[in-house]
């Protein structure tokens, strides 16, 4: 079955970016001039997804406003002949069909995905975490959809991390089938280095069959007293199999201060309107550091 829907959990509190996130959702913090979440939305739209389900919480209305239409503003800008800006506004609202559902309590990623159950129905879907930006020529989600279509199993995106980062991620173990594809046999949420089956970390991209909801309903609270998506996936893996895919691309952790700055610099260095000045500024900065 073709993958048409994506779930983007956006209910997190964003405490790592206080005070910026006191009144602004962390998903709306811009990388240059575009909210972080718009890069995620663009990735799924470029991968053929038609409907996007935001799982939100209190104080996140500006995410939905951002993807809404702004008729009055469009008309005003049109009258002023600012067609470039009109197109920018239209582009955002016309990217996909946007739907939202509230996660009433912060009970974890697994619970956030479970909130979307009725909106997904009986079809496979993508989950993307807003903190993980992946820059690649073929969108990471598209790469994963291709693997899903070939393997007909749920797929999780993997990336090798250093030992010091292992306890920050869901970690997978399994058999390497091809250069990038693994048949998984272990998944552990944020293990200690000693418990970890490998250095293959789960990045925030998942293609899930709808049976994941059944497993999410079966599991108990896990790490941090939260309903963990990784625990439900581990259960699913034992019954239905699960594929890990080491994606091609550069991943930025936009949920971390350093990662956020890295993403801003890396994306700016790809922008024709900014790159030349930024490159000479960075050179100058480095030269003056010595």
Asked if 127 and 113 touch (Cβ cutoff 8 Å), the reply is yes
| Helix H or strand E segment including 43 | helix 36-45
Instruction: Retrieve residue 167's tokens.
Output: 């306890």
Inter-helix orientation angle 36-45/140-151, to 10°:
40
Bridge partners, residue 158, by sequence: 202, 246
The torsion region of residue 150 among left (phi > 0), alpha (psi -120 to 50) and beta comes to alpha
Pick the piece of the chain touching ligand G1P (CB under 6 A) from 98-106, 195-203, 207-215, 275-283: 195-203
Closer residue to ligand G1P in complex, CB, 14/139: 14
Number of shown-chain residues binding ligand G1P (CB under 6 A): 13
The CA distance from 127 to 144, in Å, is 11
Site string for ligand G1P, 76-115 (x = CB under 6 A): ---------------------------------x------
Instruction: Retrieve residue 250's tokens.
Output: 């550069």
Instruction: Retrieve residue 163's tokens.
Output: 């030992």
Residue of 27, 43, 189, 231 interacting with ligand G1P (CB under 6 A)? 189
Q: Is 199 in the site for ligand G1P (CB under 6 A)?
A: no
Is 205 buried (19+), middle (13-18) or exposed (0-12) by CB count in 10 A? buried
Return the SS3 of 161. Answer: coil
Q: Is 31 in the site for ligand G1P (CB under 6 A)?
A: no
Return the SS3 of 188. Answer: strand
Closer residue to ligand G1P in complex, CB, 113/181: 113
Site string for ligand G1P, 115-154 (x = CB under 6 A): --------------x-xx----------------------
Q: Is 208 in the site for ligand G1P (CB under 6 A)?
A: no
Pick the piece of the chain touching ligand G1P (CB under 6 A) from 71-79, 92-100, 199-207, 277-285: 199-207
Q: Is 172 in the site for ligand G1P (CB under 6 A)?
A: no
Residues that bind ligand G1P (CB under 6 A): 109, 129, 131-132, 169-170, 189, 201-204, 229-230
């Amino acid at each position: 079955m073709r993958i048409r829907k994506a779930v983007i959990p956006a209910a997190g509190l964003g405490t790592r970016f206080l005070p910026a996130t006191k009144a602004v959702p962390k998903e709306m913090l811009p990388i240059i001039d575009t909210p972080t979440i718009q890069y995620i939305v663009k990735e799924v739209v470029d991968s053929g997804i038609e409907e996007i389900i935001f799982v939100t919480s209190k104080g996140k209305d500006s995410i939905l406003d951002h993807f809404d239409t702004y008729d009055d503003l469009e008309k005003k800008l049109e009258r002023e002949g600012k067609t470039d800006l009109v197109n920018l506004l239209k582009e955002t609202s016309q990217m996909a069909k946007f739907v939202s559902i509230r996660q009433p309590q912060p009970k974890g990623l697994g619970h956030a995905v479970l909130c979307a159950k009725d909106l997904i129905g009986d079809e496979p879907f993508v989950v993307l975490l807003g903190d993980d930006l992946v820059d690649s020529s073929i969108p990471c989600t598209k790469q994963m959809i291709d693997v899903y279509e070939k393997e007909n199993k749920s797929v999780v995106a993997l990336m090798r991390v250093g030992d010091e980062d292992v306890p920050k991620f869901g970690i997978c173990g399994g058999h390497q089938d091809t250069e990038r594809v693994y048949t998984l046999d272990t998944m552990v949420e944020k293990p200690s280095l000693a418990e970890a089956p490998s250095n293959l970390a789960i990045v925030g991209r998942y293609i899930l069959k709808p049976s994941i909801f059944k497993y999410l309903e079966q599991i108990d609270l896990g790490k941090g007293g939260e309903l963990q998506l990784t625990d439900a996936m581990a259960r699913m893996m034992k019954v239905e199999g699960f594929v890990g895919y080491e994606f091609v691309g550069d991943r930025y952790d936009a949920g971390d201060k350093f990662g956020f700055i890295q993403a801003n610099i890396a994306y700016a260095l790809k922008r024709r309107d900014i790159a030349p000045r930024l490159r000479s500024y960075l050179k100058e900065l480095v030269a003056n550091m010595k």
